[in-house]
Structure 1
Amino acid sequence: MSSSTVLPTPTLSEKHSGIPFRLYEKAQYAKSLILDIATKEQSERKRGPAIPAGVEKTTFLKALDELSGQLGKENVEINDQPLKDGWYMEHPNTHDAMHVLDEEELVASAVVYPGSTEEVQKIVLWANKYKIPIFPISIGRNLGYGGAAPRVRGSVVIDLGRRMNKILDINPVDHTCLVEPGVTFYALYEEIQRRGYKHLWIDCPDLGGGSVLGNTLDRGIGYTVYGDHWACHSGLEVVLPTGELIRTGMGAMANSSSWQIFPYGYGPMADGLFSQSNYGIVTKLGMTLMRNPGGHESYLYTFPNEEDLAPLVDIIRPLRIGNILENVAQLRHVVQAIAYSGKPRSSYFQGEGQMTDEQVREIARKELKYGDFTWLYYGMSYGPKEIRQYKLDIIHKEFLKIPGARRIDPATLPKTDYFWSRDRIATGIPDLEELQWVNWYPNGGHIAFSPVSPVRGPDATELWRMARSRAAEFGHDIFPAFCVGLREMHLIVECVFNRDDPDSRKMALACMRAMIDEAASKGYGEYRTHLVLMDQIAKTYNFNDHALMKFNERIKDTLDPNGILAPGKSGVWPARYRGRGWEMSGLSERSEGDGVARDTATRL
């Protein structure tokens, strides 16, 4: 299908979550690749609109009418229409667009659209009155981790992004910004360019359509020097589950001059309570911005053998700690490099099961311009030319200690090569290419295994061996990327499946669960995960008889006595849900338990 025959992708001038005009043609092409191989048909709802547990349908509909009176009828929508998965730039806010369970399992009962912090407070007070679970999203593009879906079926999704999408401040002197939930990386970058602040850079993840606020709260990463987004935030405004409003850090002063420049404030630092949690709804976020370093140069190295992984990681560690490798280091595998084309697996291989190394490398030799390789390292050097060259010479000397290592001359690569997308991202320019590998299967969805480990060769080898062998057990190819921070390493293993094929979904989920259990047995914990896997991973943090979870539950019950805010997120369940079969562990993959307990918590 030609991109010219595809319906137009909304642009930023038309929609808060739209694509920048500079990426419009790329978006049309990406959309055409998806539609070319899609076989999933639009189907009617089988189960009908979900109703929150513990609430009668008539009461729920009456409650929605009441909320419509407060927010306006156009800002309250019941979820009773067929579920449309869409794609990255036109995603749903009612369910998981890349559902690994049945599409009607993790599904909202309704979606509401507040236009201000005050309206968020009204929604929270309403939810407490009727004890209706609510689930806030910023944009809902956390694809691979559950997207916009609520953890509890029948929750009311609060879509903060549609109407709360203002860039409240960009300070070119302090190099900071203040944003609402609906501000995407695309939008922030484009606004900085519009204002002519050439000295300011943002840091963005692999794709730019996500919320700056949402990605930061989920501890997402980017690829400049400021790649640790949570470490670069400064200042939160939060609506608590009781409807109260607080600001953290220096923002706790009503007339603060330093909210976006000093994150700590005075006394206990509360910010961490609102990261990957269900303790509050963040309505404003302060972020630091990077200063243009005065020059930059991307580079790409290839390494021929699977066994090169361990010595290479040991070379990377001191270079990264010493900031010779300045941004989040990316070490990717040849299978994913092939899949960047956006073509399905069937274009290269017709067999069943996991492809062998030799099969993959043979495909790469024919299709790519990198020669024979197993691993690719994408990097960026920053600063004036002479400083960059000093660092690049050190990197080159160290990497060539791996026999067969080669630096790829960027001049030999066409501008359509994926290398140039990584080049843009590492300079804070949001792009739209990363998810093309999801087309590995028709109706592609993906789910990630994301353990953290020391930056050591034996750890990298063990994690790779474990992920590769588990994937082979379930018949999957996997796309691994080792992302190295200063002293830790994230292995992000993407598992792609056909979301229209129940067996494909089942095998992908079983593969993830097996990886999680084996990794935990060896001391590797996950840093971020899909809604379906949250309970399992929370249980792996089991020191002192799960003391941390008990602590989290005490905080939850104190801040959210009616248990209305995102129950089950990160495995933290409020009292009225606990012990009633809501947890997912592999034995049960239902997002509904055995109702909720009647309790005596005070209505607010």
Structure 2
Amino acid sequence: MSDRDTFTQPSFFGSTSTPLKARPLVLPPNVTREDFGTFLREIIDLVGNGNVEIITSEDQIDDRSYMNPAHTHDPHHVMEQDYFLASAVVAPRNVADVQAIVRLANTLSFPLWPISIGRNSGYGGAAPRVSGSIVLNMGKNMNKILEVNVEGAYCLVEPGVTFQDMHDYLVANNLRDKLWIDVPDLGGGSILGNTTERGVGYTPYGDHWMMHSGLEVVLPNGELLRTGMGALPDPKRPDTMGMKPEDQPWNKAAQLFPYGFGPYVDGIFSQSNLGIVTKMGMWLMPNPGGYQSYMITLPKEDDLKQAVDVIRPLRLGMALQNVPTIRHILLDAAVMGSKAHYSSKSEPLSDEDLDAIAEKLNLGRWNFYGALYGPKPIRDVLWDTIKGAFSTIPGVKFYFPEDTPEDSVLRIRDKTMQGIPTYDELKWIDWLPNGAHLFFSPIAKVAGEDAMAQYAVTKRRCQEVGLDFIGTFTVGMREMLGTLGADHIVCIVFNKKDPLQKKKAHWLIKTLIDDCAANGWGEYRTHLAVMDQIMGTYNWNNGAFLKFNELIKNAVDPNGIIAPGKSGVWPRQYSKVTHKL
């Protein structure tokens, strides 16, 4: 190691510097290795060696797994494996650590990329948009369930609390008969992280952002903010005097009423780079007193149009109580086995192939999954209504879980739609060898014509590039998420060890963004590699939306330290041309 690999210059942060021998594989723009070494020494002195990993070797760039996620890069890399790469991963121990790190970062304008768990699968994982950023692993140490309030039906959590953790807590404390947590397709994600990314689940509480109440946020200057009713102090008592702000009790209404007084600022901390969320209140679903899941199979591809038109009045009228899904046959087939299990073809499967798979699995070309909630008399009335409406579609069939095999997708969804975390949906990623995926999430109105148009566009582009269409539509109250895959998003499955397939997947998602924008369908969430492109489609009135976001970013974070480039919003210090993909 040369002399320049040992950092010995005096610290300009205030403590005595110790030589730090480290040569990160990548540094952020305008940061020297000497400054990096001094900065990391300060952080190590703050949080301890065990909470800092400097990325100095390619051996550390390991894709790992969903249950043991990589924090250095995107494990589903559609570009080069190390294209989005951290210089170091730091795990703060508490809110005070986060504040101290943020203040240190301001001295160098050093970019930080906060994550909760690192399981943002299909969107970039834990990888930073600007290579060389320090990934702040908020969930490693800050993983406490701070409160579960049965009477108010809410919880207060730190970033590291997963959906599985909350479910386990409810079961262990004999609260499952009183409260449920709404879960997404996979149970290992952070409640806080998923919610601030505006993820969804499948019970009546499926819109997670709608169900949050109260945030605690470290701002880019290191100051601590509580939103909504949390901005009103709890009446001072002797036992709170002298306590740190982050340890002080919340106002008793903070998790009950999200809006507080004045401008509602919570939204600027979702999918944003304006602060680091350290605590969040979340509403839990009271046990509805009864539950029944079901599946309705639709035999023909074109049945999608009529099905969506049947669904719309049922969803608006709340006969469909939860967030239902219409899944393409290959999504369910991929959960049950790899492509090689069904066919020896390398090209996209034909309609005849799909019909054969549907017959083999006793499924339709589209399969609708929903659930009924409440006492049996209520469920019976709702079921008669739903069954009658769907019976207008020729050839539909109706199933309850006990009518299907033990390993059926309905058995999996039966758990998901009652707030029980599962991990079985991971299996569809193995549709191809070395399976990886991208999610693509266009919004459309709940109308059969729109669904068929969106399906036609995406299917045609998949076939054009030589990849199978794997899709689902997730139905909200008035909107529909069109998705090529699970997790209420469009999933593009590819072999990450095949450079050509990676290029195809990247071309496909970029092309679909433009195709959908031309039809008025914008994406609600996306992968790192296309954030700028999608923000560019939200360009009404000469890009007023982005300009406003940039105005806020530069005012609140003048040194551009929090997640530069997140959601296509860049601080003034960064050249969009330089970072354009």
Give the aligned partner of residue 118 of structure 1.
96
Q: Are 1:311 and 2:306 an aligned pair?
A: yes
Q: Does 1:147 align with 2:125?
A: yes
Q: Please give the alpha-carbon distance, in whole angstroms, between the structure 1 residues aligned to 2:396 and 2:327.
A: 14
**Deviation >3 Å, runs of 4+:** none
The answer to whether the Cα contact below 8 Å between 2:358 and 2:365 also exists between their aligned partners in 1 is no
2:68 is matched with 90
Aligned position for 1:564? 561
Measure, in 1, the Cα distance between the counterparts of 2:401 and 2:217: 46
| 1:518-557 pair list within 5 angstroms | 518-557=515-554
CA contact (8 A) 2:110 2:133 kept: yes
Which of residues 263, 272, 286 in structure 2 aligns to 1:291?
A: 286
Q: Counterpart in 1 of 2:166?
A: 188
Report what 1:451 is aligned to. Answer: 442
Cα distance in structure 2, aligned partners of 1:579 and 1:483: 34
Cα deviation digits, residues 16-59 of structure 1 (max 9, x gap): xxxxxxxxxxxxxxxxxxxxxxxxxxxxxxx9611121011122
Q: CA deviation at 1:345?
A: 1.3
Distance 2:69 2:424 in 1: 16
Q: Which amino acid aligns with 2:533?
A: Q
Equivalent in the alignment of 1:262: 257
| TM-score, scaled to structure 1 | 0.87
How far apart are the structure 1 equivalents of 2:359 and 2:37?
A: 60
1:353 to 347, 350, 355: 347
Cα distance in 2 between the residues matched to 1:363 and 1:72: 54
Residue in structure 1 matched with residue 114 of structure 2 by the alignment: 136
Name the structure 2 match of 1:78: 54
Deviation at 1:415, TM superposition (A): 2.1
Q: Find the aligned partners of 1:223 and 1:59 in 2 and give their Cα distance.
A: 47
SS at match of 1:403: coil
- Structure 1 residues 532-581: Cα deviation after superposition (integer angstroms, max 9, x where no partner): 11000000001000000000000000010001110000000000103442
2:160 is the alignment partner of 1:167: no
Q: What corresponds to 2:499 in structure 1? A: 502
SS of residue paired to 1:223? coil
Contact 2:24-2:54 at 8 Å conserved across structures = no
Aligned to 2:571: 574
CA distance in 2, matches of 1:115, 1:68: 12
Alpha-carbon offset, residue 411 of structure 1:
2.4
Secondary structure of the 1:468 match is helix
RMSD after superposition: 1.1
Instruction: Report the 3-state secondary structure (helix = DSSP H, G, I; strand = E; otherwise coil) of the residue aligned with 2:120.
Output: coil
Whether 2:46 is the aligned partner of 1:49: answer: no
The one-letter code matched in structure 2 to 1:65 is: R
> SS state of the match for residue 525, structure 1?
coil
Cα distance in structure 2, aligned partners of 1:237 and 1:411: 44
For the residue of structure 2 that corresponds to 1:77, the secondary structure is strand
In structure 2, how many angstroms separate the alpha carbons of the residues matched to 1:351 and 1:290?
A: 45
Aligned equivalents of 2:472 and 2:565: distance in 1?
Answer: 28
Task: Output the CA distance in 1 between the equivalents of 2:149 and 2:308.
Answer: 38
Please say which of residues 350-359 and 325-334 is displaced more in the overlay.
350-359
2:205 to 207, 223, 226: 226
- Give the aligned residue type for 1:193: V
What SS does structure 1 have at the residue aligned with 2:171? helix
Q: Which amino acid aligns with 1:68?
A: I
TM-score (norm 2): 0.91
Deviation at 1:115, TM superposition (A): 1.0
Q: Give the secondary structure class of the aligned counterpart of 1:103.
A: coil
Deviations 1:260-304 (A, max 9, x none): 000000000000000000000000000011000000001111011
Distance 2:575 2:551 in 1: 12
Residue deviations 1:64-119 (CA, integer Å, cap 9, x gap): 01111112122221012411111111111111111111111011000101011111
Could you tell me which runs of 5 or more consecutive residues in structure 1 were left unpaired when the two chains were aligned: 1-46, 585-604
Distance 1:454 1:475 in 2: 28
SS at match of 1:299: strand
Q: Distance in 2 between matches of 1:307 and 1:379?
A: 20
Q: What residue number does 1:439 align with?
A: 430
Match of 2:368 among 349, 365, 377: 377
CA distance in 2 between partners of 1:161 and 1:48 (Å): 23
% identical aligned pairs: 49
Q: What's the CA shift for 1:156? A: 0.2
1:20 aligned partner: none
1:433-476 Cα deviation digits (max 9, x unpaired): 11201001111110012100110111101100000001011001
CA contact (8 A) 2:142 2:160 kept: yes
Matched, 1:583 2:566: no
1:409 to 1:561, Cα distance in 2 relative to 1, 3 A: closer
- Partner in structure 1 of residue 356 of structure 2: 362
Distance, in Å, in 2 between the alignment partners of 1:75 and 1:295 is 45
Runs of 5+ consecutive residues of structure 2 not aligned to the other structure: 1-22, 235-250, 485-490
Task: Say yes or no: does 1:396 pair with 2:387.
Answer: yes
Tell which deviates more after alignment, 64-73 or 230-239: 64-73
SS in 1 for 2:470: strand
Give how far 1:409 is off. Answer: 4.4
2:429 aligns to what SS in structure 1? helix
Equivalent AA in structure 2 for residue 419 of structure 1: L
Query: Structure 2 CA distance, aligned partners of 1:583 and 1:228?
Result: 32
What is the rounded CA distance, in whole Å, between the counterparts of 2:34 and 2:577 in structure 1? Answer: 24
Q: Using the alignment, how far apart are the partners of 1:325 and 1:97 within structure 2?
A: 36
The structural deviation recorded for 1:412 is: 2.7
CA distance in 1, matches of 2:548, 2:355: 49
Q: Partners in 1 of 2:50 and 2:400 — Cα distance?
A: 54
